[in-house]
C-alpha cells in the first residue's frame, strides 16, 4: 500500500472531502485581506520614479526611523527569547502557588489595547514614576528615549515566545535529562546538548513572531518614545506623520521598504527553523 500523502493534489479524489472548498476560501481570503492591499501599496509606490523612491528612503529621517524600528525590534525579540524561555520553563517544570494565574498573566499583552500599555509603561518609567524614580538617580532615562521603545516592544512580544516554547517544553521528557546525567553529562552539557537542540525550532518561531510583532508595533511605542525625529521616532509613526502631511507617496515608499525588509528577515528565520527541524 502506498503511504498516504500528507498533501492532497488537485483532481485527486479523496475519501475525505473539503480540499477544494478550503483551498478556494484560503485563496480568496488571503487575496482580499492580505495580497490585494499589499499589491495596491506596491502599485502606488511604483508611481514614484526610481530616483524619487531612493531619495525618500535615503533621507536621514527615514533611515534613522527604519534603523530604530528594526534594531530595537531585534533587540526586544532577543530579550524576549531569553526571558520568555525562563518564564516558560518555570511555568511548565515547576508546581508553585499561583502558577495558573501567572500562566494567564502571560497572555495579557495579547489582549490589552497597546495604547493603554504604552501609557501605563510611560507613567511607571517616567522619572517620577514608581520604577523610573529609582532609575533616574542612576542616570537611566527610559521614557522619551530608545530605551522606552525597547521596554514597550518587550511588553508586546513576550507572550509570543512563551506560548510557542511552552508546548514543546511540556513534551520534553525529564527522563532525557536524567538519562544524559546518568551518562555523565554535567548540567550545562545537558542544557547545551539535549534541551537546546530540541527547543531550538520553537525558540526561532517565537523569536520570529515576537520580532514581527515588534516591527509593526505602533500604539504602545508612541506614548513612551517621545517621538523625537532621528532619535526616538519609529518607522510606523513616520508613515503616519507623512500621511498627515498628505505626502502619500512618501508614506507608501517607507511602507514598501518595511514590508520588504520584514519579509527578508522572516524568510531567513524560516529557513533557519527548517534547517534546525531537519536536524532533529
Q: How many CA atoms lie within 13 A of 279 on its CB side?
A: 11
- Which residue among 181, 249, 261, 262 contacts other proteins (CB under 8 A)? 181
Distances (CA, A) of 40 to 43, 64, 139, 215: 5, 26, 47, 21
3-class state of residue 202 by DSSP: helix
Angle at 207 between CA 203 and CA 208, to 5 degrees: 120
Residues in 155-174 at the binding interface with other proteins, rule: CB under 8 A: 173
Q: Assess 185 for contact with other proteins (CB under 8 A).
A: yes
Q: Assess 274 for contact with other proteins (CB under 8 A).
A: no
- Which residue among 179, 240, 264, 267 contacts other proteins (CB under 8 A)? 179
Nearer Cβ to other proteins (42/191): 191
How near is the Cβ of 182 to other proteins at its closest, in Å? 4
Q: How far apart are CA 85 and CA 228, in angstroms?
A: 33
- Which residue among 30, 35, 178, 228 contacts other proteins (CB under 8 A)? 178
Query: Which letter does DSSP use for residue 138 in this model?
Result: G
Nearest to 210 by CA among 56, 76, 102: 76
How near is the Cβ of 198 to other proteins at its closest, in Å? 6
Nearer Cβ to other proteins (22/186): 186
Q: Assess 136 for contact with other proteins (CB under 8 A).
A: no
Binding footprint of other proteins, residue count (CB under 8 A): 19
Nearer Cβ to other proteins (168/215): 168
Nearest to 217 by CA among 194, 198, 240: 240
Q: Assess 184 for contact with other proteins (CB under 8 A).
A: yes
* Grid cell at residue 278: 531537519
Nearer Cβ to other proteins (33/196): 196
Q: Assess 128 for contact with other proteins (CB under 8 A).
A: no
* Residue 274 CB partners (closer than 8 Å, separation 6+): none
Contacting residues toward other proteins, per CB under 8 A: 173, 175-176, 178-186, 189, 193-194, 197-198, 279-280
Amino acid at each position: 500500500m502506498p503511504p498516504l500523502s500528507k498533501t492532497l493534489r488537485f483532481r485527486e479524489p479523496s475519501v475525505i472531502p473539503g480540499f477544494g472548498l478550503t483551498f478556494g476560501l484560503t485563496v480568496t481570503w488571503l487575496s482580499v485581506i492580505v495580497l490585494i492591499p499589499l499589491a495596491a501599496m506596491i502599485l502606488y509606490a511604483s508611481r514614484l520614479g526610481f530616483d524619487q523612491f531612493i531619495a525618500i528612503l535615503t533621507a536621514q529621517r527615514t533611515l534613522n526611523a527604519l534603523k530604530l524600528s528594526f534594531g530595537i525590534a531585534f533587540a526586544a525579540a532577543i530579550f524576549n527569547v531569553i526571558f520568555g524561555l525562563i518564564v516558560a520553563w518555570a511555568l511548565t517544570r515547576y508546581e508553585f502557588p499561583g502558577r495558573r494565574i501567572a500562566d494567564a498573566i502571560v497572555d495579557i499583552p495579547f489582549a490589552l489595547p497597546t495604547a493603554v500599555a504604552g501609557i501605563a509603561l510611560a507613567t511607571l518609567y517616567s522619572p517620577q514614576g514608581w520604577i523610573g524614580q529609582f532609575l533616574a538617580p542612576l542616570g537611566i532615562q527610559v521614557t522619551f528615549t530608545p530605551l522606552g521603545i525597547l521596554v514597550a516592544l518587550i511588553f508586546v512580544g513576550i507572550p509570543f515566545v512563551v506560548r510557542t516554547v511552552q508546548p514543546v517544553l511540556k513534551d520534553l521528557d525529564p527522563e532525557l535529562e536524567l538519562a544524559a546525567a546518568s551518562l555523565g553529562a554535567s548540567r550545562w552539557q545537558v542544557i547545551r546538548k539535549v534541551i537546546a537542540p530540541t527547543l531550538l525550532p520553537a525558540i526561532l518561531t517565537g523569536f520570529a513572531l515576537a520580532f514581527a510583532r515588534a516591527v509593526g508595533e505602533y500604539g504602545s511605542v508612541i506614548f513612551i518614545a517621545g517621538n523625537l525625529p532621528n532619535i526616538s521616532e519609529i518607522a510606523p509613526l513616520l508613515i503616519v506623520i507623512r500621511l498627515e502631511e498628505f505626502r502619500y507617496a512618501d508614506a507608501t515608499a517607507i511602507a514598501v521598504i518595511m514590508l520588504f525588509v520584514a519579509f527578508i528577515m522572516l524568510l531567513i528565520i524560516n529557513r533557519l527553523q527548517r534547517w534546525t527541524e531537519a536536524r532533529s
